[in-house]
Amino acid sequence: MTVTTPPLSAARTADAVRDGSGGALELLDAAFDRIADKDSSIRAFTTLLRADGRAAAARVDSRSGADRAALPLAGVPLAVKSTVTLDNPAIRPLLDAGAVPVGITAAPQLCTWGMTDSEEHGITRNPRDLTRSPGGSSGGSAAAVASGMVPLAVGDDGMGSLRIPAAACGLVTIKPGSGVVPTTLAGDNWGRMAESGPIAATVEDVALALSVMSGRPALASAPAGEDGSAGAGGARVGVSTASPIRLGRDLVRIQQPWTRAAREAADHLGSAGLVVVDSELPTPRDPVLYLARWTSAVARAAADANLPLSAMERRTRHHALLGRTVFRTGGPGDGDTRWNRATTALRDDVEQAMVDTGVGVWLTPALADVPPEATDWHKRSWGRSLWASMRFSPFTPLANVLGWPALTVPCGSTVTPAGRDLPTSVQLLGRPGSEGTLLALAAVIEKGGHTGP
């Protein structure tokens, strides 16, 4: 086994390269050593970008001191989800800012599921507990960061695909609001629900990467306030721990460690001088709205990729077929449909609840339970994969359907069935344009309760 050292954070890595105390090529080689040491058991990466990485690192090292000092992400090793290429508008700004591509990370077929495994690449495992999934669909990106192979990764989020694996692996991430980060993803950005975003171990690193991806430098300083109240604009925070999937009763039960995490996060915010109130977050009036959006997005992504039903895994084929037939008008661009009317009603209900309570940001648990077992879900039925995804991650789809920004940050901890410690996490959700506020609030929670790496 190779003896490797863990990476610095993205911000500290860039500091070292900018001041000349570290070299981008040296840091890249260290990242490749860590991958060689660890990834055979985790399977976060599908492809290593040795030539691209060395060329990018050499360009950083060849810059003059003044030019290198102007790079926000100078020499930062970067993992990239398989859904995007290096010339994607979400990735290009990171490379221009000095980030160095290391490899492509695993995702389930068509990014459909909350567990990362596939016939093509096998099973990706959670570095916190190898018997558990890292979540999905950006599970490879989360596993690459949580294992310490790289300090920064990019994924995308169409129904929680960044926030689920970040929470499953004890990391920080943000799904930006619609259009904040330019990106090109399959199926018209998954039916206009998917956004690209960064995933890292700290709020500081996520804010720095988001500031580069969005072209909004001020976001990098959003977490800097000591008590969070200034950066958060005095936001009044509504805490909701009720199950968001109900049909007369809770279909998905929220396990106690995650409700406790939300209460702990609320206490941290209250101690920072913010007003925190209990306020139940509205759920869709139409109980199958999320399923309609989800299946139709997968069907459109499959069409974009020219992937026939015969080439799909069993569970994904069923999902795409539902999207093509039962929910074929499930997208937001399909006109005056049942699903668009249901989305409008849901947005109206959420905004009215915010007006009634004065809430500017919602705080919820990020997950409902520990991640599912790391196993060959791709060989199992559609129903089993559907229930496994829903059972532990019911909170994330709302932000995608509304197009609002949402963030997850660790707070508290639990223990997996194998006896491994696992951070619990909370989700922050706000109106369009509230990315800076969410980052400021996350920094307060991180300072008070972060148990991540």
Phi, psi of 275, deg, nearest 5: -85, 125
Q: Which two tokens stand for residue 324?
A: 């093509």
Q: Report how far residue 159's alpha carbon sits from residue 386's, in angstroms, rounded to the nearest whole number.
A: 13
Catalytic residues: 81, 137, 161
